[in-house]
Amino acid sequence: MKAFYITEPGSTAIGELQQPRPETDEVLLKTRLIGMCGTDLSTFRGKNPLVSYPRIPGHEIAATIVEVGSSVPAEYQSGMNVTVYPNTHCGKCASCRRGRTNACKFNETLGVQRDGAMKSFFTAPWQKVYRAEGLSLEELSVVEPLAVGFHAAERGRVTAADVVAVIGCGMVGLGAMAAAAARRATVIAIDLDDAKLSLAKLAGARHTIHSGKQSLHDALGELTDGLGPDVVIEAVGVPDTYRMAVEEVAHTGRVVYVGWAKEPVSYETKLFVHKELDVLGSRNSLAEFPAVIETLAKRNFPVAATISARVPIEDAGGMLRKWSESPQAYSKILVEMDA
CB 38 within 8 A of CB 170: yes
CB 255 within 8 A of CB 114: no
Report the C-alpha dihedral over residues 117, 120, 122, 127, rounded to 10 degrees: 70
Q: Which of 252, 254, 216, 250 is nearest to 233 (CA)?
A: 254
- What does the alpha-carbon distance between residue 151 and residue 141 come to, in Å, rounded to a whole number? 17
CB 97 within 8 A of CB 81: no
Pick the CATH number of 148-281 from 3.40.640.10, 3.90.550.10, 3.40.50.720, 3.30.1490.20: 3.40.50.720
Strand partners, 131: 82
CATH homologous superfamily for 2-141+302-336?
A: Medium-chain alcohol dehydrogenases, catalytic domain (3.90.180.10)
Provide the 10 A C-beta neighbour count for residue 86: 23
- Supply the pLDDT for residue 190: 98
Residue ranges of the chain assigned to CATH 3.90.180.10: 2-141+302-336
What distance, in Å, lies between the first and last C-alpha atoms of the chain?
Answer: 13
- Supply the pLDDT for residue 338: 75
- Supply the pLDDT for residue 202: 97
Question: For residue 235, how many C-alpha atoms fall within 13 Å in the half-sphere facing its CB?
Answer: 32
Strands (E), the chain: 2-8, 11-16, 26-36, 60-68, 81-84, 121-125, 129-131, 163-167, 186-191, 207-210, 231-234, 254-257, 278-281, 307-312, 332-336
Q: How are strands ordered across the β-sheet holding 254-257?
A: 207-210, 186-191, 163-167, 231-234, 254-257, 278-281
CA triplet 53, 59, 62: central angle to 5 degrees? 135
- Supply the pLDDT for residue 274: 96
Residue ranges of the chain assigned to CATH 3.40.50.720: 148-281
Q: Which helix H or strand E contains 262, and what residues bound it?
A: none
- What does the alpha-carbon distance between residue 27 and residue 24 come to, in Å, rounded to a whole number? 8
Render each residue's pLDDT in the chain as its tens digit; 339 residues.
999 999 999 999 999 999 999 999 999 999 999 999 989 999 999 989 899 999 999 999 999 999 999 999 999 999 999 999 999 999 999 999 999 999 999 999 999 999 999 999 999 999 999 999 999 999 999 999 999 999 999 999 999 999 999 999 999 999 999 999 999 999 999 999 999 999 999 999 999 999 999 999 999 999 999 999 999 999 999 999 999 999 999 999 999 999 888 789 999 889 999 999 999 999 999 999 999 999 999 999 999 999 999 999 999 999 999 999 998 888 899 999 875
CA distances, 51 to each of 35, 57, 109, 318, 325 (Å): 18, 10, 10, 20, 21
CB 266 within 8 A of CB 239: yes
- What does the alpha-carbon distance between residue 293 and residue 156 come to, in Å, rounded to a whole number? 21
Q: Which of 295, 322, 338, 300 is nearest to 36 (CA)?
A: 322
CA distances, 338 to each of 63, 113, 183, 219, 311 (Å): 10, 25, 38, 46, 11
- What does the alpha-carbon distance between residue 93 and residue 98 come to, in Å, rounded to a whole number? 9
- Supply the pLDDT for residue 329: 83
- Supply the pLDDT for residue 29: 98
